[in-house]
């Protein structure tokens, strides 16, 4: 009995004129063009494919290897596929039934064994890479940084950089590191799971409440002078784990500096800032003390050099390590930072005034749900401060370089 042959229906596969009308075809074309042209955009500053340090380079090299092998497999399989489609296509007037084949042992063995061998070969550098990339940094030169993830900003403390009077170096959202040196991040979260990611320096690592996760950053020596579009040595990064309302605005910047510049930066950060004694800034200081230090910390010195730390020092303990757990970013040297609101805005007087007026206008936050007693902070509230007081605060904060 001759096998039943089905005529291709209209619009079915091989149906000659497809149902894709002009619009559908145009949409398909545009989609394809966007996908293809997207590849021409060059790599942005947050690309893992442009590594700027040895650890990221190792990840990228592995990616290259997998990519090349995958392309070879893809091309081979597609070539066989295309040949089969062409050679065994349906021909007009040829209604013979094709030869029916059941099983081909050599073929089946080879398409089982070859991929297995390929995967085994790839497993060697992959597994080795996982261990090497995860390894904690060791040695006397390693710089330790304790990182606390907050909804929606980053708190950094350098536990080994201590002032004469015993204060550690504390900052937020902008992490300075020396080029060519391993920096060990010990990270935890005070609320939900975040993920620390600076693609050109290492892979991403989840930042989990109640746990310490580690990540080593290392930048090449020449990165300190390289400009990625934000100034020399400045590399953007961001939270890579959805963590609520302002997740997309939980960014950070890494400032890669020459070791000498880094030392100078660290020394300056450990210095207190002066308590303003006259003019608008002095009035700003009053407001700061009455309204802002509930959440923000600042290390100040009076004219005689007596140092005070404003704001409650809140900490949190994880596996024997003490992490900072302030309600808001440390503002001691805020004027010297280049960004505002977890690296979402340039730090300018206008932006700062707008921020103090109503932070939620600039960043989606939920301060109405704050419950400080329960330790819950979901953003900075608007305090209805008048324009003059805002100007005073701006003057004071921007002078705190
Ligand atoms: Cu986050």
Q: So what's the pLDDT on residue 46?
A: 87
For the stretch 332-345, pLDDT in tens is 999 999 999 999 99
Mean pLDDT of 99-112: 92
For the stretch 165-193, pLDDT in tens is 999 999 999 999 999 999 999 999 999 99
Q: So what's the pLDDT on residue 313?
A: 86
pLDDT band, very low/low/confident/very high, at 42 (cuts 50, 70, 90): low
pLDDT reading at 230 higher than 90? yes
Please tell me the distance between residue 297's alpha carbon and the centre of ligand 1 in angstroms: 21
Q: So what's the pLDDT on residue 96?
A: 83
Please tell me the distance between residue 250's alpha carbon and the centre of ligand 1 in angstroms: 6
pLDDT reading at 399 higher than 80? yes
pLDDT band, very low/low/confident/very high, at 12 (cuts 50, 70, 90): very low
pLDDT reading at 8 higher than 60? no
Domains of the chain: 52-91+103-135 (1.10.287.90), 142-401 (2.60.40.420)
- 30-39, 70-79, 112-121, 294-303: the lowest-pLDDT one: 30-39
For the stretch 271-299, pLDDT in tens is 999 999 989 999 999 999 999 999 999 99
pLDDT reading at 17 higher than 80? no
For helices 105-134 and 54-87, angle between their N-to-C axes, nearest 10 degrees = 160
pLDDT band, very low/low/confident/very high, at 312 (cuts 50, 70, 90): confident
Higher pLDDT, 46 or 221: 221
Please tell me the distance between residue 327's alpha carbon and the centre of ligand 1 in angstroms: 15
Please tell me the distance between residue 77's alpha carbon and the centre of ligand 1 in angstroms: 41
Whole-number average pLDDT of the chain: 91
pLDDT reading at 129 higher than 80? yes
Exposed (0-12), middle (13-18) or buried (19+): which is 237, by Cβ within 10 Å?
buried
Q: What is the CA radius of gyration of the chain?
A: 29
pLDDT reading at 324 higher than 70? yes
Evaluate the CA torsion angle 271, 272, 273, 278 in order and state its sign.
Answer: negative
Please tell me the distance between residue 238's alpha carbon and the centre of ligand 1 in angstroms: 8
CA distances from 53 to 43, 59, 257, 293, 303 (A): 16, 10, 13, 39, 44
Exposed (0-12), middle (13-18) or buried (19+): which is 136, by Cβ within 10 Å?
exposed
Contacts 24+ apart (CB under 8 A), 90-93: 90/14
Percentage of the chain with pLDDT > 70? 94
Q: So what's the pLDDT on residue 11?
A: 43
Q: So what's the pLDDT on residue 321?
A: 95
Please tell me the distance between residue 249's alpha carbon and the centre of ligand 1 in angstroms: 9
Nearest residue to 232 (alpha-carbon basis) of 253, 217, 202: 253
Please tell me the distance between residue 130's alpha carbon and the centre of ligand 1 in angstroms: 24
Mean pLDDT of 308-322: 93
Please tell me the distance between residue 243's alpha carbon and the centre of ligand 1 in angstroms: 5
Please tell me the distance between residue 40's alpha carbon and the centre of ligand 1 in angstroms: 30
Please tell me the distance between residue 355's alpha carbon and the centre of ligand 1 in angstroms: 20
Please tell me the distance between residue 257's alpha carbon and the centre of ligand 1 in angstroms: 26
Please tell me the distance between residue 3's alpha carbon and the centre of ligand 1 in angstroms: 61
pLDDT reading at 265 higher than 90? yes
Q: Distance between CA atoms of 297 and 347, rounded to whole angstroms? A: 18
- 6-10, 84-88, 125-129, 225-229: the lowest-pLDDT one: 6-10
Please tell me the distance between residue 157's alpha carbon and the centre of ligand 1 in angstroms: 18
Please tell me the distance between residue 148's alpha carbon and the centre of ligand 1 in angstroms: 11
Task: Name the DSSP letter for residue 376.
Answer: B
Please tell me the distance between residue 191's alpha carbon and the centre of ligand 1 in angstroms: 9
pLDDT band, very low/low/confident/very high, at 154 (cuts 50, 70, 90): very high
Listing DSSP states for 149-188 in one string gives EETTEEEEEEEEEE-TTSPEEEEESEEEEETTS-EEEEEE
Q: So what's the pLDDT on residue 41?
A: 66
- 12-26, 34-48, 248-262, 328-342: the lowest-pLDDT one: 12-26
Please tell me the distance between residue 349's alpha carbon and the centre of ligand 1 in angstroms: 27
Please tell me the distance between residue 231's alpha carbon and the centre of ligand 1 in angstroms: 25
């Amino acid at each position: 009995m001759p096998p039943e042959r089905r005529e291709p229906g209209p619009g079915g596969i091989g149906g000659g004129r497809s149902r894709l009308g002009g619009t559908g075809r145009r949409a398909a074309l545009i989609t394809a063009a966007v996908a293809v042209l997207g590849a021409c955009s060059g790599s942005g500053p947050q690309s893992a494919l442009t590594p700027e340090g040895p650890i990221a380079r190792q990840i990228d090299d592995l990616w290259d290897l997998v990519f090349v092998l995958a392309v070879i497999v893809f091309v081979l399989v597609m070539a066989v596929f295309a040949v089969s489609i062409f050679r065994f296509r349906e021909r007009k007037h040829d209604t013979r039934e094709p030869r029916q084949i059941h099983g081909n042992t050599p073929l089946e063995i080879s398409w089982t064994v070859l991929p297995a061998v390929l995967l085994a070969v790839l497993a060697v550098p992959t597994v080795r890479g996982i261990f090497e990339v995860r390894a904690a940094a060791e040695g006397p030169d390693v710089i330790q940084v304790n990182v606390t993830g907050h909804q929606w900003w980053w708190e950094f403390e350098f536990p080994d950089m201590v002032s004469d009077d015993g204060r550690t170096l504390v900052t937020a959202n902008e992490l300075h590191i020396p080029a060519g040196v391993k920096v060990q991040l010990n990270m935890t979260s005070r609320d939900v799971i975040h993920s620390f990611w600076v693609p050109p320096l290492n892979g991403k690592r989840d930042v989990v409440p109640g746990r310490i996760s580690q990540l080593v950053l290392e930048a090449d020596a020449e990165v300190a002078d390289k400009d990625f579009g934000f100034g020399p040595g400045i590399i953007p990064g961001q939270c890579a784990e959805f963590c609520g309302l302002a997740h997309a605005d939980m960014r950070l910047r890494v400032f890669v500096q020459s070791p000498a510049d880094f030392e100078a930066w660290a020394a300056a950060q450990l210095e207190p800032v002066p308590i303003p004694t006259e003019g608008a800034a002095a009035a700003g200081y009053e407001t700061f003390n009455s309204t802002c230090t509930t959440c923000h910390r600042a290390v100040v010195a009076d004219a005689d050099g007596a140092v005070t730390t404003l704001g409650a020092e809140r900490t949190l303990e994880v596996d024997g390590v003490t992490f900072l757990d302030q309600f808001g970013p440390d503002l001691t040297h805020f004027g010297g930072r280049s960004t505002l609101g977890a690296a979402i805005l340039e730090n300018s007087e206008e932006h700062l005034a707008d921020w103090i007026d109503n932070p939620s206008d600039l960043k989606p936050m939920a301060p109405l749900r704050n419950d400080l007693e329960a330790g819950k902070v979901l953003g900075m509230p608007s305090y209805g401060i008048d324009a003059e007081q805002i100007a005073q605060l701006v003057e004071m904060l921007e002078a705190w370089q």
